[in-house]
């Protein structure tokens, strides 16, 4: 019986060991694909070609399937995030309380669309469908910290604070 | 673990608590934590030490009113404080034994009057990371009772007798589902807890998972015993990191105390639970899509039958229930099916947790017995619409539900009544809108949501929702004709009747319900090119568009 060779780690980067650890914990079974991709994303910030290939090979999943999973779920990103991330919730409660205006103001301020990163790689602007903090709507996650009852001016101020200082 | 050991743990907790005159439960839910309730808690603990008062400061689960956070509840005097800052700690501790701090106290008599807490009975009153506190409030009694005094069929009979229906939105009788899985041929069998609370505007499951995770574990173990499952999964959204970490800590605690693993409570029962993270796909709330996602695939639904109860995860019989459904199981076995069936209406028993949000004074979680009129929830518990605005509609059921106008506010909440009125129970989001919301725009918002969340497997949903969105945008922009409206209604019918899964089948609901109750708003957009609420940008019609209409 042919013994399947687990591919070597793509580089010396210690983060690959964390990824490998997740796969080992699940016994390199195919159904650990999403769990492993979560680990890659949380360690590296995004998923690139090399990492998807490595995970697919290690778990013996066709590359097409791995790529299909990555592109299916909104949580996975194939673009490196900016140094700072501004995520605005566009769930129903936030919509009713005017999240659209905040998104529009942030887009205008940064001159980018949601889902994009500023050309200097400083700020990513994202939207999310409900973070479950509807009582505090409208809600934004500024670098992962939840801010409730936001107003456009407040978000702009924070974005200005993130601007690189010359 | 046997009942004596359980009592010993409960007794130890009770003795420990007797040392204190007061207990201050500081909310450590995601909402309050974001407002730095942890800092307040630390300040409080420091203050207690220096004042020498016999007071216990506890990190508790969600107290429900996240907008007024950080929150704290002082036991046993039942005083609730809101908007707490670190600097308030001194005053709060100094007031113990005297009059409560007037400045910070929240007067919520109306909010709690009429609520009945079953699922949320421990939320905000125990430390979610301490299994002992859950046990001291009757936790795991139901599991022991089931394992030692009842056979699996007896448990299923009790659940069936209680009249519990699926709390995820469908309302399928839970006892019937358990019975089907128990009878299904095949092994192993799986129990899955659906914590993929994708419905935007709902956060009941998050609060339960963060505030009282052991209750869900107990419910799942009882279910495993009843249906003969050996392995469980809980599928939680990746957007809820706190719920995930609390739940995994609770799983470890439960394992340590022998409530999970091999020989649970000294019986031959073998069962363990694994957490699976969602990855931001709304459709994964659908049971077959959720199963595909656990298997590590794209979360696309498949045709039913076969239902998961017969052929689910890895083609094995699988029981899937919502977080809130599992949270109801332990109280039913502890207090008896009759007790549960005594609450609610003829066909909808028990209580339901709603996330009351939107344009309403008291936003937060409310748990009410089924059958309560919508008016009471919104105007008595919720405190009505703030800032002098007028109530316009209440939206239930998320993107699958509908908007109900003022005339329907006397409707008694139940699965069937809501469906009859063109909406649905859903998982429990309840969003109140006032006269500043345009109902056409609201419909467009939900259709846009369904359009982006459609998995793309079946054409009616993939293409239909995109076309519906186009037509609704046209109406919003004031560029539509009556023909477009007819086309939209036709399209709704097609999408509703030909889509593969619940997402597509219910996607037209927001459109149909707003058309049913707010048709005049649609007509206003079409005939007069104006938005009565002033939300849509149709007033700014370009002269070019008008010209094109004339030439056509």
Residue B149 forms part of a structural domain: yes
CB contact under 8 Å between B296 and A135, yes or no, is no
Residue of chain B with shortest Cα separation from A141: B34
B273 and B335 assigned to the same domain: yes
How does residue B540 score in pLDDT terms, banded at 50, 70 and 90?
Answer: low
ipTM, two decimals, is: 0.91
Last residue of a domain, one of B292, B319, B341: B341
Taking residues B468-480, report their average pLDDT. Answer: 94
B391 and B522 assigned to the same domain: no
User: B270: alpha, beta or left, given left = phi > 0 and alpha = psi -120 to 50?
Assistant: beta
Closest CA to B370 of B352, B387, B389: B352
Which residues of A are less than 8 Å from B203 in CB distance? Answer: 130, 132-135
Interface residue ranges in chain A relative to chain B, Cβ cutoff 8 Å:
30-35, 37-38, 61, 65, 68-69, 72-76, 90-97, 128-137, 145-149
The whole-angstrom distance between A94's CA and the closest CA on chain B is 8
Among A105-109, A133-137, B379-383, B446-450, which stretch is predicted with the lowest mean pLDDT?
A: A133-137
B391-432 residue pLDDT tens: 999 999 888 899 999 999 999 999 999 999 989 988 888 999
Closest CA to B444 of A28, A145, A144, A95: A95
CA distance B91 to B367: 32
Q: Which residues contact B80 (CB under 8 A, 6 or more apart)?
A: B63, B71, B72, B73, B74, B105, B106, B108
B207-221 residue pLDDT tens: 999 999 999 999 999
In this predicted structure, what is the pLDDT of residue B539?
59
Give the 3-state secondary structure of residue B275. Answer: strand
CB contact under 8 Å between A130 and B202, yes or no, is yes
B283-340 residue pLDDT tens: 999 999 999 999 999 999 999 899 999 999 999 999 999 999 999 999 999 999 999 9
Instruction: Classify residue A111 by burial, with Cβ atoms within 10 Å: 0-12, 13-18, 19+.
Output: exposed
B183 and B207 assigned to the same domain: yes
Residue B376 forms part of a structural domain: yes
B73-103 residue pLDDT tens: 998 888 889 999 988 988 888 888 888 888 8
B171 and B221 assigned to the same domain: yes
- Closest by Cβ to B295, choosing from A31, A74, A93: A31
Average pLDDT, chain A: 90
Taking residues A11-36, report their average pLDDT. Answer: 92
Quick check: B343 and B370 in contact, CB under 8 A? yes
Last residue of a domain, one of B376, B404, B434: B434
Residue B454 scores a pLDDT above 90: yes
- Closest by Cβ to A75, choosing from B30, B35, B280: B280
Residue B79 forms part of a structural domain: yes
B75 and B176 assigned to the same domain: no
Could you tell me the CATH number of the domain that includes residue B33?
3.40.30.10
Quick check: B280 and B238 in contact, CB under 8 A? yes
In this predicted structure, what is the pLDDT of residue B547?
46
In this predicted structure, what is the pLDDT of residue B551?
46
CB contact under 8 Å between A69 and B298, yes or no, is yes
In this predicted structure, what is the pLDDT of residue B550?
47
* Segments forming the whole domain that contains residue B77: 19-107
Residue B385 forms part of a structural domain: yes
- Closest by Cβ to B201, choosing from A68, A72, A92: A92
How does residue B519 score in pLDDT terms, banded at 50, 70 and 90?
Answer: very high
B479 and B447 assigned to the same domain: yes
Whether omega for the bond prior to residue B202 falls within 30 degrees of 0, making it cis, is no
**% of residues, chain B, pLDDT over 90:** 72
B334 and B407 assigned to the same domain: no
A64-119 residue pLDDT tens: 999 999 999 989 999 999 999 999 999 998 999 899 999 999 999 999 999 899 99
Alpha-carbon torsion (B57, B239, B354, B442), positive or negative: positive
Average pLDDT, chain B: 91
Taking residues A138-153, report their average pLDDT. Answer: 89
Which residues 424-443 of B are in CB contact (within 8 Å) with A? Answer: 429, 431, 433, 437, 442
How does residue A2 score in pLDDT terms, banded at 50, 70 and 90?
Answer: low
What is A84-162's CATH topology? Glutaredoxin (3.40.30)
- pTM for this structure? 0.93
B336 and B380 assigned to the same domain: no
Looking at the 3D structure of chain B, how many domains does it have? Answer: 4
- Closest by Cβ to A135, choosing from B66, B200, B297: B66
How does residue B341 score in pLDDT terms, banded at 50, 70 and 90?
Answer: very high
Mutate to test the interface with A, among B285, B357, B386, B447 (most CBs of A within 10 A): B357
CB contact under 8 Å between A31 and B202, yes or no, is no
CB contact under 8 Å between A31 and B239, yes or no, is no
Closest CA to A92 of B14, B547, B397, B1: B397
CA distance A35 to B76: 44
B234-264 residue pLDDT tens: 999 998 999 999 999 999 999 999 999 999 9
Euclidean distance between the first and the last CA atom of chain B, given in angstroms as a whole number:
80
B331 and B381 assigned to the same domain: no
CB contact under 8 Å between A134 and B355, yes or no, is yes
Quick check: B333 and B145 in contact, CB under 8 A? yes
Residue B143 scores a pLDDT above 50: yes
B329 and B180 assigned to the same domain: yes
The whole-angstrom distance between A51's CA and the closest CA on chain B is 17
In this predicted structure, what is the pLDDT of residue A1?
56
In this predicted structure, what is the pLDDT of residue A145?
86
Residue of chain B with shortest Cα separation from A101: B535
Instruction: Count the neighbouring beta carbons within 10 Å of the beta carbon of residue B115.
Output: 18
How does residue B480 score in pLDDT terms, banded at 50, 70 and 90?
Answer: very high
Last residue of a domain, one of B284, B306, B341: B341
Instruction: Count the neighbouring beta carbons within 10 Å of the beta carbon of residue A34.
Output: 26
CA distance B500 to B374: 32
Instruction: Classify residue B185 by burial, with Cβ atoms within 10 Å: 0-12, 13-18, 19+.
Output: exposed
B499 and B392 assigned to the same domain: no
In this predicted structure, what is the pLDDT of residue B375?
94
Taking residues B64-77, report their average pLDDT. Answer: 85
Alpha-carbon torsion (B170, B382, B127, B339), positive or negative: negative
Residue B153 scores a pLDDT above 70: yes
B150 and B244 assigned to the same domain: yes
């Amino acid at each position: 019986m042919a013994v399947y060779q687990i591919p070597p780690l793509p580089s010396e980067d210690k983060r690959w060991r964390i990824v490998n650890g997740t796969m080992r914990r699940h016994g390199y079974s195919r159904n650990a694909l999403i769990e492993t991709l979560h680990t890659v994303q949380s360690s590296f910030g995004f998923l690139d070609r090399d990492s998807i290939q490595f995970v697919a090979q290690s778990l013996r999943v066709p590359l097409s399937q791995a790529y299909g999973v990555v592109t299916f779920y909104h949580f996975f990103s194939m673009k490196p995030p900016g140094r700072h991330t501004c995520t605005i919730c566009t769930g129903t409660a936030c919509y009713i309380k005017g999240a659209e205006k905040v998104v529009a103001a942030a887009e205008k301020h940064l001159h980018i669309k949601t889902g994009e990163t500023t050309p200097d790689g400083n700020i990513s602007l994202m939207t999310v469908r409900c973070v479950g903090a509807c009582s505090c709507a409208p809600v934004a996650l500024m670098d992962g910290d939840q801010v409730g009852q936001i107003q456009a001016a407040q978000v702009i101020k924070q974005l200005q604070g993130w601007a690189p200082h010359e | 673990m046997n009942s004596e050991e359980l009592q010993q743990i409960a007794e130890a907790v009770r003795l420990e608590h007797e040392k204190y005159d007061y207990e201050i439960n500081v909310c450590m839910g995601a909402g309050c934590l974001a407002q730095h309730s942890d800092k307040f808690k630390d300040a409080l603990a420091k203050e207690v030490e220096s004042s020498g008062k016999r007071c216990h400061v506890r990190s508790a689960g969600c107290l429900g009113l996240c907008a007024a956070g950080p929150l704290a509840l002082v036991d046993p005097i039942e005083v609730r404080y809101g908007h707490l800052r670190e600097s308030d700690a001194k005053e709060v501790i100094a007031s113990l034994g005297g009059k409560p701090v007037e400045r910070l106290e929240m007067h919520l008599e109306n909010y709690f009057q009429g609520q009945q807490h079953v699922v949320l009975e421990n939320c905000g009153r125990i430390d979610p990371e301490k299994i002992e506190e859950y046990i001291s409030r009757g936790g795991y009694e139901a599991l022991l009772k089931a394992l030692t005094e009842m056979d699996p069929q007896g448990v299923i009979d009790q659940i069936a007798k209680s009249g519990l229906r699926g709390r995820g939105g469908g309302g399928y009788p839970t006892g019937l589902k358990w019975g089907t899985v128990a009878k299904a041929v095949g092994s192993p069998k799986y129990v899955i807890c659906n914590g993929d609370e994708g419905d935007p505007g709902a956060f009941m499951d998050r609060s339960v998972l963060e505030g009282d995770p052991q209750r869900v574990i107990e419910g799942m173990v009882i279910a495993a015993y009843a249906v003969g499952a050996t392995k469980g999964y809980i599928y939680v959204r990746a957007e809820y990191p706190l719920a995930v970490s609390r739940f995994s800590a609770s799983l470890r605690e439960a394992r340590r105390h022998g409530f999970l693993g091999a020989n649970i409570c000294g019986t031959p029962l073998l069962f363990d639970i694994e957490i699976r993270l969602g990855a931001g796909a709304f459709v994964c709330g659908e049971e077959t899509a959720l199963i595909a996602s656990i298997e590590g695939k794209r979360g696309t639904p498949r045709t039913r039958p076969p239902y998961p109860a017969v052929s689910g995860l890895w083609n094995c019989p699988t029981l899937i229930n919502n977080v809130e459904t599992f949270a109801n199981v332990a109280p039913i076995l502890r207090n008896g099916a009759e007790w549960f069936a005594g609450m609610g209406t003829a066909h909808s028993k028990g209580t339901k947790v709603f996330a009351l949000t939107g344009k309403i004074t008291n936003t937060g979680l409310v748990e009410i017995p089924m059958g309560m009129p919508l008016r009471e929830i919104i105007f008595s518990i919720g405190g009505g619409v703030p800032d002098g605005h007028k109530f316009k509609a209440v939206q239930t059921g998320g993107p699958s539900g509908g908007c109900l106008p003022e005339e329907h506010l006397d409707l008694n909440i139940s699965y069937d009544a809501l469906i009859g009125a063109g909406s649905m129970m859903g998982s429990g989001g309840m969003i109140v809108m006032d006269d500043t919301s345009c109902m056409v725009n609201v419909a467009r918002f939900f259709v846009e949501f369904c359009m982006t969340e459609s998995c793309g497997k079946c054409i009616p949903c993939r293409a239909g929702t995109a076309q519906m969105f186009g037509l609704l945008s046209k109406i919003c922009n004031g560029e539509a004709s009556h023909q477009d409206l007819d086309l939209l209604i036709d399209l709704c019918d097609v999408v509703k009747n030909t889509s593969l899964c619940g997402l597509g089948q219910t996607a037209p609901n927001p459109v149909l319900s707003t058309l049913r109750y707010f048709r005049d708003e649609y007509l206003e957009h079409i005939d007069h090119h104006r938005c009565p609420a002033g939300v849509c940008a149709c007033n700014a019609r370009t002269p070019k568009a008008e010209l094109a209409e004339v030439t056509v």
